[in-house]
Structure formats: C-alpha cells, structure tokens
Amino acid sequence: MAAAAVAVRDLWKFFGDYPALREITFDVEPGTCLALLGRNGAGKTTLLRLLAGFSHPGRGEVRILGAGVRAPETRARLGVLGHGISLYEELSASENLHLFGSLFDLPDPARAVDEWLERVGLSRVRDGLVREFSRGMRQRLAIARAFLHGPSLVLLDEPFTSLDDRAIAVLQQVIREGLAAGCTVIMSTHQIREAMELATHAALLARGRLLYHGPRAPEMLADPGWLYAQYGEA
Amino acid sequence: MTFWRHTWTVLTKDLRAELRTKEAVNASFSFAITILLLISFAFDPTEEMTREFSGGLLWIVFAFAAVLILNRSYARELPNDCLDALIASPAPASAIFLGKALSNLFLLLAVEAVCFPVFGIFYNVRWIGQFWPLLLVVVLGTWGLTVVGTMFSALTVNIRLREVMLPLLLYTTMIPGLLASMQLTVHLLAGEPLSTAFVWLRFLIGFDVIFTALALTFVDTVLVG
C-alpha cells in the first residue's frame, strides 16, 4: 500500500503553556485536495507550518510522503504558499523564479521559468521588479513559485485571500491541473466556496482540536457554513 | 557539488539584491569613512602614534561598519516571508548560511578596500609595501567577523531588538578574533614581517576554523529550532 501523502499522529504544539494544537491525528491520501477550515485562531496556520517543517511539534509525529518533514527528499517534493508571497521585492519576476528553480535543482530552470511566467500571464513583465508589481501580479507570481518544481504535495495558507478574479481563476486552474497530475493539496481557507469547488476532503479545526476530517459532502458545497453548523461553530 | 550550487545561488541573490538597493553597503561605507576622517582631524596623530593605534582603529571601524551589513543579512528575508521559502527548499541551511556569509564577506571587503587608501592618505601610513600579508590578515579577520555575525544575524532575525542584540553578541564573541587581527595589523603597519607575529596568525586561523565549523553545524537548529 502506498504511503499516505501526509500522516499526522497525536500532534501537539504549545506556545508557552497554551496548546495551539491538541491530539491531531489524520491521514491525507495522495492525489486528494483537503480544505482545512476553522475560525481565526483555530490552529490552521500552526498546523500548516508544522507540516512545512517551519517549526517542531511539542509532541507527536508528522510524516510527509513517507519521510520526515525536514528530510531533503521531502522538501524537494513540497510546495508552500504561506501568508507572505515569499518573493524578493528587489529581484525581477524571472530572477525570483530562477532563484527557486536553482534551489530546487530543476534540470532546466530557464525553461521552467518561461513556462510558468506564461501560465500565470506574466511573460510580458518578466524583467520587471516585484516591488513594481500590483498585488494581483505578485500573487500570481507567488503561485508560480510554489508550483514551479512540480511538487507532490502543496501547502496553501489562505491562498484566495485578497486575490482578484483573475488570480483566483489562475490558482484554481493550477490546483486542478496539479490534482489531475497526482499532486496532493492541503489548503487552509476562509473562502469556503472557492475551496470547496476544488476540495475532495474537508477538515474542521476549532481551538486546536480536529473536529471533523472526511470526504467533502454535497452539503458543504451548497452551504459554506454547513460544516461549522454541524459542530456548533456557526 | 549541489551544496556549492546552492551556496552560489544564495550568494549571487544576496549580492544582486544589495547592489540594487545599496541600503546596507552605503550606510556601512559612509560610517567607516566618517569615523576615519573625524578621528584623523580630531587628534592629528603623528606617524609613530598612528603605528601604535592603527590596528585598533581600523578593526574597530571595520567591526562597527560590519554590523550595518550583517544586520540586513537575514532581515532581508523577512519581508514577504522569504525565509520560509528558503527553509522549505531542499537547499541545506548550511549552504544558505555559507552563501550569505560569503556575500557579507565580499560587501565588507569592498568597504575595507575603500577604507585602506583613505587611511593611508589621512594618517600618512604607507601600507602598500605590506599589501599581500595585510590582505591575508584582512581576509581572515573579516571572515571571522562575517561568519560569527551572519550566525548571530540568523539567531536574532525573529526578535524585535535584533539591531541591539546583534552587536552585543557579535562584539563579545569577536574579542579574540579582533584582538588577533589588531595585533597582526599593528605588526604589519610597523613594517615587521608576518613571521614575527605568527602566533597571532595561527590564533586567527584557529578562530575562523572553529567558528565556521560551529556555524555550519548548528545553523539548521538556529533557523528551524
């Protein structure tokens, strides 16, 4: 049996004495899209940062694609798009993508950069500095950066926040193509409607506990507040 | 090979970013030149006095100028959460660190390269005859400064008082390295051969090797915890 894309066992994270995550246990199968829901402060970003290897858990274990979170082979197959766009303001669009293409050891970074600039509609401004870009252009470039190396697992932290219509369409298209190619996606979001259009599974966090984890039900698509209401979080 | 490619990628990225904004290098350069000129005009030292305090003066100026460059090293990664993307990449933290340390080394050497002629002219010190030994001492001393400073830049990047903490940590740790650099510089500017201060040279090399090894070993723990 193939290893789960993400396997989380009895995960706890403490900030001082406060448990930001408590007894989190779940698996994410390869090729699925998990929408991670929860109110502000529920622990979504903390969980995603643990999955990305940006911090260590207080207790418990995380396995990504069958290996440890900080293993080089894991990081080579992981794409992350967090709250920040993770792009250098003083570098151009193509320089930013080329930098990450080199760090991810792409065999032909220049070709990958050209392809992704075309896909996100930024070929025309490839030599423009990021500091001169609009918010929507930055977000599209950030999407290209996260998917540039063809990751097997992508972690997206509120990816639809502050996106314009065009950037939302680009992101949804990129995620759909990624899923079709077998990529696993985990995204935390408050934009439930946009997320549910893509999600195959959903999880609900509240005060650091995992209240629900399972397939996306039709009711979740029809009513964005349905899952919250089922667990008294409306 | 991959390690060095990652190091090169980070080195060129940092140099390119700094050369476009020049925010750290301009401040460092202005500071160093201002201090050299002010002390020259304020005390008007004789050639003999200059020989005695030249090592101390130069390395104090270099150490203070270095902080302005080193403070920006990891702080540059904070806007837009760029450090997260670096940590998430397969590049080892030690390669990222080494790329940043080398970038800081080149920037600080550039500032020092401008300081030496100014020092020679305003303090009437002829150092060109000792160019190669002096270059060796400057590179070794500056490497010690940058490797320790870059490590503490990583350590303090996420704290609010990093501009205060970095110099506090750097200067106290750098005392042995700065002492050796000062002694060697005084010897060389007095016209003595490097061999007369060989013990200080070995001391400085030992300092550099130990702190480079420590930094490369522990930087992953420093960045991720």
pLDDT-above-70 percentage for chain A: 99
* Chain B residue set in contact with A, beta carbons under 8 Å: 2, 5-6, 9-10, 13, 16-17, 20-21, 79-82, 84-92, 220, 224-225
Nearest CA in chain A to B78: A86
Instruction: Count CB neighbours of A69 within 10 A.
Output: 22
Triad A64, A70, A71: Cα angle to 5°: 80
Nearest CA in chain A to B80: A84
The topology (CATH level 3) of A31-41+68-203+211-230 is Rossmann fold (3.40.50)
Instruction: State yes or no: pLDDT of A234 exceeds 80.
Output: no
Beta carbon pairs, A and B, within 8 Å: 79
Task: Give chain A's mean pLDDT.
Answer: 91
Mutation to test the B interface, candidates A80, A81, A86, A113, most B Cβ within 10 Å:
A86
The verdict on a CB contact (< 8 Å) between B89 and A72 is no
Which positions ≥6 away from A208 have C-beta within 8 Å? A13, A19, A20, A21, A22, A24, A42, A43, A46
Residues of B in contact with A80 (CB under 8 A): 84-85, 88
| Closest-CA distance of chain A to residue B21, Å | 7
The verdict on a CB contact (< 8 Å) between B86 and A90 is no
Identify which of A80, A83, A95 has the shortest CB distance to residue B88. A80
User: How far apart are alpha carbons A31 and A20 in whole angstroms?
Assistant: 28
Mean pLDDT confidence for A165-172: 85
User: How far apart are alpha carbons A36 and A199 in whole angstroms?
Assistant: 10
User: How far apart are alpha carbons A175 and A178 in whole angstroms?
Assistant: 5
Mutation to test the B interface, candidates A45, A64, A65, A88, most B Cβ within 10 Å:
A88
Identify which of A82, A85, A90 has the shortest CB distance to residue B17. A90
pLDDT digits (tens, 9 = 90+) for A182-215: 999 999 988 888 888 899 999 999 999 999 999 9
Domain extents in chain B: 2-224
What's the helix, strand, coil split of chain B in %, to 5?
90, 0, 10
Residue A2 pLDDT:
67
Instruction: State yes or no: pLDDT of A1 exceeds 60.
Output: no
pLDDT-above-90 percentage for chain A: 70
CA atoms within 13 A on the CB side of A15: 7
* Phi and psi torsions of A150, nearest 5°: 60, 55
Mean pLDDT confidence for A57-78: 92
Ranges of residues in chain B whose predicted pLDDT is under 70: 225
Domain extents in chain A: 31-41+68-203+211-230
Nearest CA in chain A to B83: A86
pLDDT digits (tens, 9 = 90+) for A7-58: 999 999 999 989 999 999 999 999 999 999 999 989 999 999 999 998 899 9
* Predicted complex ipTM: 0.88
Pairing label, strands A153-157, A33-37: unpaired
